[in-house]
Chains A and B, each alone.
Chain A
Amino acid sequence: MIKLYDYALSVNCYKPRLLMSLLDVDYESVPVDFFPGEEHKGAAFRKINPLGHLPVLIDGDFVLRDAHAILLYLAAKHDRSGRWYPTADPELIGQVAQWMLFAEGTTATASAARLHDNLGYGFDIDEVRQGAHRLFRVLDEHLWFAERDGRDWVCSPPHPTVADLAIFPDVMLSEEGGISRLDYPALRRWTDRVRRLERFTPMPGIQPVGAPFP
């Protein structure tokens, strides 16, 4: 069975958990004492990931680190519909990659602010918050015009992709880092849509939302 080196409160660990839930893939969660134990920085864990960060996925003999890489791998391997990581169309490959890299930005800003506020990480809090707002403005405008075009998701297909999942938790937990979503109505509507996906799974701070209009 797939093993996920995991920490309940980590957005990056939640990303593969969410995809595996959506794909109905069984896995075993291996809890790592990220805080306060800092087990991920210890020698034992560095044998699994020399970079000393979470999550790490082990599928048989295959070891993979980095949430966004894990999303691509899981989608390519376990999603028979080919929707979560569409690879047939070069433009779609580009779009998914573009927004996955955007998610690196939201992780480095919005989720960094959360680590600062919740766990005392030493980021420049004003800088990461401002950085998150810059990205949220871009994403809100992108999603707002997508809605005008009848599209619900970050990439152009009429269904979500791994890019949505890579960005989603950074956005959903931004308030924990002091980043309000008041100014981003389209972003907020998109988070409803993600939370209404079949087999959606929550995490602390990310609650499911009620049923859509019948």
Chain B
Amino acid sequence: MTGPDQAGSDLAGPDLGGSDLAGRQGLDLTAAPIENGWHAIARSDDAPLRHVYQTELLGRELAVWRADDGYLNVWDNRCLHRGVRLSIGSNEGSELKCVYHGWRYSSRTGGCTYIPAHPGQAPARTLCTRVFPAQERYGLVWANLGSEVDPGGPEPIEVLDDGAPFALRSLPVNASPLMVMSRLGDYRSDRGPGFEAEQEPTVTMTPMGPLSARVTSVLAGVEATVVFFVQPVDAGRVVVRGVLAETPTPSLEIQTLRHHAEALEQLRQVLEAAAGGEPRPAPLEAALQRVEIREPVSSRPGVGDDARVEVVVERKAESGRGVMAFELAPVSGELPTTQPGAHIDVFLPNGLVRQYSLTNRAGDQGRYVIGVKREADSRGGSAVLHDSVSEGDVLTISAPRNTFSLRRDARHTILVAGGIGLTPLLAMAETLNEGGHSFELHYFARSADHVAFAPRLGRLGPAATAHLGLSPVETGEALQEIVARHEPSSHLYICGPGPMLDAARQAAGHSGWPDPRVHFEYFKNSNELDRSHGFELTLARSGLTVFVGPGETILDVLRANDIDLPSSCEQGACGTCVLGVIEGRPDHQDVYLNASERESGERIVACVSRSVDDRLVLDL
């Protein structure tokens, strides 16, 4: 046995000479330099678009897939639901779909974006598969499973950086990493194009790290260097990945690949024959590790700071009259997973907090994109973003919350947007479009000039219709026409100014749409709030009874008692602070719940709603 540091120093020496390292005991695969090291795990072309490549590293199975934007994902190869391999799932472009029950996971973050068995609910943020950093270099894909990752990527290899590296065909070998490393010097590529079969080359093998070596053959003054990277699949299995220092001329490429594949095949036969005579080493066991998630807790200053995300305003540009589009990039790492319909809190430099829907389709995680309309009566929210925030500024936002989530199981989906209400519906439309679902998007705007995100709307083709410059009466007529056609499994999503939203919901009701198929999100709560009556509030699970006095809200009283309830808009529009009601009749003052939810009395929006009865018992 060797200590954790010995393995690396043992084999990583500058020049051990000779080709035979056999007899050395030192290749502890659990040692830090290997565990925290970068390993070649694929050729770059093993991960073409819309494919999921499967491999294993240090006993851990990996699913490797490239999103349509080129991002390379290296993940634990198991679905969080039933443990089925994600590598037999489907690369949908920006999400990976498990073959078993259709759970979807987002590119970059590995966060779950959709669970078909719960089509109306946004998946919990804690559902996040383990992702590993990846890089591409020398025509190979590199990954690092370690807890202390050097973000710079694999150690540079001078002979490859200075040359024109050409990745050879990789070959799996059923032999231990140590045995393979010890025999790489036996690699003979002397029967290649241009060489006489009878001649003997001079071969030098130079270890470059615990699991890499450079093999140079010189024959008749012609030098050929191959750098081998040994992927430690498991204790008794490897993949040998060779990279030629110089790319052959195009006409010789296939011949060169064949020649090296044959040479490596010969070495494999020797290695496997030798390994067959030895006892099989015990397989490595990949440890299960907890995935750290940034969980939004509260938008109240000082509470739930772990939920805050710092972002850089990467781009700020007008998109339609009076609308500013902001592209928000992560300061470090990746942005938290979002799904269509989600919104974020933006903490403004002047202390105000405002909510904005993300326009990102599912799996589109590179940059958050929001659209901010300048409000004529701005109290400092939209005006600050329009006038004071510039490209390069750092903003604090919350992780996304989703109380307006999109079902992807409808036979047909109708999306109705009014003005800046387009933003969540654009995310939905693009998600449905990418998934090949049937949908239509109706966008009511004041004029062609006011149309926001026009290029993205254009890419939706005939599914998107703009209704421009209609009067309220004309809008009402158009809405009636839109909702008149519907099938039993259609779903309707509406977001826009209050009067338009009211009209659309009313029209849907008249056309026979049941409440559960009509989804809406108001910008704000325009109801006149009545806080004149006090009531007793019992929290059943906490075993606490308190009094909510006139002028106070349930949320205020909870916080005064150190109970931290997630909240966002705090005016009864977004639905973040919804709680279950056990006893008592809620006095609903929000615009989040629909009519049947209100009537059932089972849920209450804690920031604005109160109690009709003297006593209210909540499931908290």
Interface residues, chain A, with chain B CB atoms under 8 Å away: 141, 144-145, 148-149, 181-183, 185, 188-189, 192, 207, 209-213
Please determine whether B261 and A141 come into contact, CB atoms closer than 8 angstroms.
yes
Complex: how many Å from CA A31 to CA B61?
Answer: 39
User: Which B residue's beta carbon lies closest to that of A148?
Assistant: B254
Please determine whether B169 and A188 come into contact, CB atoms closer than 8 angstroms.
no
Select A209's contact among B61, B90, B169, B254, beta carbons within 8 Å: B90
In the complex, what residues of B have CB within 8 A of residue A141's CB? 169, 261
Complex: how many Å from CA A141 to CA B90?
Answer: 24
Complex: how many Å from CA A181 to CA B233?
Answer: 14
In the complex, what residues of B have CB within 8 A of residue A148's CB? 253-254, 257
Please determine whether A213 and B93 come into contact, CB atoms closer than 8 angstroms.
yes
In the complex, what residues of A have CB within 8 A of residue B258's CB? 145
Please determine whether B51 and A182 come into contact, CB atoms closer than 8 angstroms.
no
User: Which A residue's beta carbon lies closest to that of B92?
Assistant: A210
A154 to chain B, nearest CB (A): 18
In the complex, what residues of B have CB within 8 A of residue A211's CB? 50, 92, 436
Complex: how many Å from CA A189 to CA B42?
Answer: 13
Asked if B339 is at the interface (CB within 8 A of a chain A CB), the reply is no
A155 to chain B, nearest CB (A): 18
Asked if B54 is at the interface (CB within 8 A of a chain A CB), the reply is yes
Asked if B48 is at the interface (CB within 8 A of a chain A CB), the reply is yes
Select B54's contact among A144, A188, A209, A212, beta carbons within 8 Å: A188
Contact with A along B254-268 (1 / 0, CB 8 A): 100110010000000
In the complex, what residues of B have CB within 8 A of residue A145's CB? 254, 257-258
Report if A192-B51 is in contact (Cβ < 8 Å); known contacts: A148-B257, A182-B56. Answer: yes
Please determine whether A213 and B49 come into contact, CB atoms closer than 8 angstroms.
yes
Report if A210-B90 is in contact (Cβ < 8 Å); known contacts: A145-B254, A185-B42. Answer: yes
In the complex, what residues of A have CB within 8 A of residue B68's CB? 213
Asked if B464 is at the interface (CB within 8 A of a chain A CB), the reply is no
In the complex, what residues of A have CB within 8 A of residue B253's CB? 148
User: Which B residue's beta carbon lies closest to that of A181?
Assistant: B54
In the complex, what residues of A have CB within 8 A of residue B88's CB? 207
User: Which B residue's beta carbon lies closest to that of A188?
Assistant: B54
Asked if B97 is at the interface (CB within 8 A of a chain A CB), the reply is yes
B284 to chain A, nearest CB (A): 15
Select B97's contact among A144, A185, A188, A210, beta carbons within 8 Å: A210
Report if A182-B54 is in contact (Cβ < 8 Å); known contacts: A145-B254, A189-B48, A210-B97. Answer: yes
Complex: how many Å from CA A148 to CA B258?
Answer: 11
Complex: how many Å from CA A189 to CA B51?
Answer: 7
Complex: how many Å from CA A213 to CA B97?
Answer: 15
- The size bracket of the interface on B is 20 to 34
Asked if B99 is at the interface (CB within 8 A of a chain A CB), the reply is yes
Please determine whether B54 and A213 come into contact, CB atoms closer than 8 angstroms.
no
Asked if B523 is at the interface (CB within 8 A of a chain A CB), the reply is no
Report if A210-B91 is in contact (Cβ < 8 Å); known contacts: A145-B257, A189-B48, A189-B51. Answer: yes
B66 to chain A, nearest CB (A): 10
Asked if B55 is at the interface (CB within 8 A of a chain A CB), the reply is yes
Asked if B512 is at the interface (CB within 8 A of a chain A CB), the reply is no
User: Which B residue's beta carbon lies closest to that of A141?
Assistant: B261
Which 6 pairs of residues, A with B, have the shortest CB-CB distance?
A210-B90, A183-B172, A213-B49, A185-B46, A213-B50, A207-B99
B142 to chain A, nearest CB (A): 16
Report if A144-B169 is in contact (Cβ < 8 Å); known contacts: A209-B90, A210-B92. Answer: yes
Known: A210-B93, A212-B49. 20 other contacts (CB 8 A): A141-B169, A141-B261, A144-B169, A149-B254, A182-B56, A182-B61, A182-B172, A183-B172, A185-B43, A185-B46, A185-B54, A188-B51, A189-B51, A192-B50, A207-B88, A207-B99, A210-B90, A211-B50, A211-B436, A213-B68
Asked if B53 is at the interface (CB within 8 A of a chain A CB), the reply is yes
In the complex, what residues of B have CB within 8 A of residue A188's CB? 51, 53-54
Complex: how many Å from CA A189 to CA B90?
Answer: 12
Complex: how many Å from CA A148 to CA B255?
Answer: 11
In the complex, what residues of A have CB within 8 A of residue B97's CB? 210
Complex: how many Å from CA A48 to CA B241?
Answer: 52
Complex: how many Å from CA A192 to CA B46?
Answer: 13
B195 to chain A, nearest CB (A): 21
Complex: how many Å from CA A204 to CA B93?
Answer: 25
Report if A182-B55 is in contact (Cβ < 8 Å); known contacts: A149-B254, A207-B88. Answer: yes
Contact with A along B233-261 (1 / 0, CB 8 A): 10000010000000000000110011001
In the complex, what residues of B have CB within 8 A of residue A181's CB? 54
- 18 A–B pairs (Cβ distance < 8 Å), ordered by A: A144-B169, A145-B254, A148-B257, A181-B54, A182-B54, A183-B239, A185-B43, A188-B51, A207-B88, A209-B90, A210-B50, A210-B90, A210-B92, A210-B93, A210-B97, A212-B50, A213-B68, A213-B93
In the complex, what residues of B have CB within 8 A of residue A212's CB? 49-50
Residues of B20-62 at the interface with A, using a CB-CB cut-off of 8 Å, are 42-43, 46, 48-51, 53-56, 61
B97 to chain A, nearest CB (A): 7
Contact with A along B98-113 (1 / 0, CB 8 A): 0100000000000000
User: Which A residue's beta carbon lies closest to that of B88?
Assistant: A207
In the complex, what residues of A have CB within 8 A of residue B46's CB? 185
In the complex, what residues of A have CB within 8 A of residue B254's CB? 145, 148-149
A72 to chain B, nearest CB (A): 30
A157 to chain B, nearest CB (A): 19
Complex: how many Å from CA A171 to CA B50?
Answer: 20
